[in-house]
Amino acid sequence: MNILFIGDVFGEVGRNLLKKYLAKIKDTYEIDFTIVNGENTTHGKGINQRHYYELLDLGIDCVTMGNHTFDQSDIVNWMDEESCLIRPANLSRRANGVGTNVFNINGYKIQVTNILGRVFYGGIINHPIEVMEDIIKASDADIHIVDFHGDATAEKISFGYEFDGQVSAVLGTHTHVQTADERILDHGSAYISDVGMCGPFNQCIGMDKQNVVLKMKDGLPHKFEPGKEPGILCGVVIRFTIDSQVKSIERINLSPLNNYEI
């Protein structure tokens, strides 16, 4: 079993990167199951239904979310019908959607869970570790992939250590900057602090850099727009043994720096 996880898909540039490179990546790495974090798919903010189906049509099996889950407010009208869409599990129990789900792939039960970090995040959310403990108690999955969507590296790595050996992988998302700390932890879980982004390269984590820098300088409101091409596509491939143990975690990073070489 080989699982591909692609970091936060950002706007049109991110969607175009997937159209151009996903099939070749899946082919090259012999991918059986593909997850993307899709919380920035529509203009950098949330995901609308059209773009969600666009991702599924490209061959993506599961879309995880994060702090921008409800930015496209219409999502509450359709997300309950979509079993491949996973929003953070540690939101209010009144929130639409599900925070974890199981996919049956080639005889394996693959569970995907989305957790939102609390550091630097102002929303009202439940304790990431306590919510994860409950999900694990109820799980009988062969493989369990956790997208930990958060800002702080320390929070992510602490979460990774806490659940090392209890889940197959803790994969960080949200910062849009890929970290180079991918590894297999002591008890067998794959880990990376941040998978990175699938979106505009040479911009401010997806947004056009000009107005972001202006805001940094003068503190005044400036409209942020998604950056233009070229793009960067970041992800990881996790390979499993026949008995669902993690064999390896490998980073993918396609950009103008390597001529998008797969």
Residue ranges that bind Fe ion, judged by CB under 5 A = 66-67, 174
- Tell me which residue of 119, 118, 149, 114 sits closest to 132, measured CA to CA: 114
**In whole angstroms, what is the distance from residue 4 CA to residue 30 CA?**
9
Burial class (CB in 10 A: 0-12, 13-18, 19+), 159: buried
Active site residue 51: no
Least distance from C-beta 174 to Fe ion, angstroms?
4
Phi/psi for 116 (5° steps) reads -100, 130
At its nearest, how many Å lie between Fe ion and the CB of residue 24? 27
Catalytic residue among 43, 51, 68, 176: 68
**Would you say 8 or 182 has its CB closer to Fe ion?**
8
3-state secondary structure of 198: strand
- Distance of closest approach, residue 47 Cβ to Fe ion, in angstroms: 12
Closest CA to 194 of 135, 154, 254, 166: 154
With beta carbons less than 8 A apart as the criterion, state whether 260 and 254 touch: yes
For the CB of residue 39, give the shortest distance to Fe ion in the complex, in Å: 5
Nearest CB to Fe ion, comparing residues 172 and 231: 172
CB-wise, 67 or 101, nearer to Fe ion?
67
* 141 or 197: CB nearest Fe ion: 197
In angstroms, the CA 201 to CA 129 distance is 33
Closest Cα to residue 102, out of 132, 62, 131, 133? 62
Residues with a known catalytic role: 68
